[in-house]
Structure 1
C-alpha cells in the first residue's frame, strides 16, 4: 500500500468515524473503564469491518462497469445526514448510558451503519487488506483521541457543534469520487 493509499484510508476512517470521537469521549467522561471502552470499540468496529468486507467480496462478482455506481450509497448517506443535520441540532445529552464492553460494542456497531455503506464501494473498487490494517490501527488512535476529548471541554464542544456538518460533506464527496472514478 503506497503512501497516497494510506492517506486515503486515514481520510476515509476519519470522515466516517468523526462522530465516534464524541461517543468515545462521552463513554470516557462518564467513567467507563478505559479497557472496556477500547475493547468494546474494537469488537464493534470489527463487526462493522467484517460486514463491509463480506459485502464487498460479494460485490466483486458484479461487472466492473457497475462498481462506480456503488458510489450512490455514500452519496445518499451523505445527503441523508445533511438533511438530518439541517432539520435537527446535535444533542450531547443523548449519550449511551451503558457501561459494559458489549454495550460499547453495540453502540459502535449501531453507529457504524453509515460506515458499512461507505466502506463497501471503496473495498469493492480498490481493495481491502490495506484499508483494514489502517482502520484497525486507527481504532486505537480514535480511542486515545476520545479520551483526550473527554478531558477537554472545548474540544467536545467543537466536535459536537461541527461534526454534523463535516460528516455529510465528506460522505457526499466520497460518493461523487466513486461515481466519477468509473
Structure 2
C-alpha cells in the first residue's frame, strides 16, 4: 500500500468528516442506557458511509448516479429528521429522565440517513480525488476510510461518555440533536441552491 495515498486518505477523511464526530456523540448520548444502541449506531454510520463511498466511486468511474443539482436536496433528510425530533421534544415526547420516549435509542437507518445526507458535501470532494486516483487508489482510499469510520465511532462514543460532555448532552442533547440536524439540512439546501 502506498504510504502517500494512505496519508492523503487519512487527511481527506478527517477534513471531510469533522462534523460527524459531533453527530456521533449526540447519537451515542441519545442511545445511552438503551440495549444494543451502540451496535445500531455503528451499523448506521457504516451503512451511511458505505453509501457515500458507492456513490462517489460510481460517479468517479463515470456512472453518475446523482446529478450535481440533486446533491443539495440530500439536506432534506437531516432537516426532516431534525424537525421530527424537534416536534417530539416540543410536544413532550421525552420523559422527565431526559431519555427519548421511543425505546431503544437511535435506529441504524436513521443514523445511516443522517450520515449519508451529511456526507453530500463529501461527494464533491471524493469524486474528483477518486477519479484521479484510478481503481487502485480508490481501493486504498475506501479501505482507509472504512477503518477510520470505526475510529470516528470510537471518538464519538468517547466524547459522549466524558462526564462533563455526557452531563451536557444528557441535559441538552434532546434539544441539541434536532437543532444540529435542522442546521445541517438548511445549510446544505442554502449552500447548494446558491
Q: Shared fold (TM-score greater than 0.5)?
A: yes
- Aligned pair 1:145/2:173, yes or no? no
How many equivalent residue pairs?
Answer: 126
Kindly report which structure 2 residues correspond to 1:30-49, keeping only aligned pairs within 5 A, or say none.
30-31=30-31, 33-49=37-53
Tell me the TM-score normalised to structure 2 length: 0.59
Q: Return the offset for 1:99.
A: 1.5
Tell me the TM-score normalised to structure 1 length: 0.62
Change (3 A) 1:142 1:8: same
User: Which structure's CA Rg is the greater one?
Assistant: 2
Instruction: Find the aligned partners of 1:6 and 1:140 in 2 and give their Cα distance.
Output: 16
Partner of 2:31, secondary structure, is coil
Instruction: Find the aligned partners of 2:56 and 2:84 in 1 and give their Cα distance.
Output: 24
Q: Return the offset for 1:154.
A: 5.7
Q: Return the offset for 1:144.
A: 0.4
Q: Return the offset for 1:151.
A: 1.9
Change (3 A) 1:121 1:101: same
Q: Higher helix share goes to which structure? A: 1
Contact 1:21 1:146 (8 Å CA) reproduced: yes
Q: Return the offset for 1:103.
A: 0.5
Instruction: Find the aligned partners of 2:3 and 2:60 in 1 and give their Cα distance.
Output: 23
Give 2:114's aligned residue: 107
Kindly report which structure 2 residues correspond to 1:1-182, keeping only aligned pairs within 5 A, or say none.
1-31=1-31, 33-58=37-62, 97=85, 99-126=106-133, 127-152=137-162, 153=164
Contact 1:96 1:107 (8 Å CA) reproduced: no
Q: Return the offset for 1:3.
A: 1.4
Partner of 2:44, secondary structure, is helix
Give 2:188's aligned residue: none
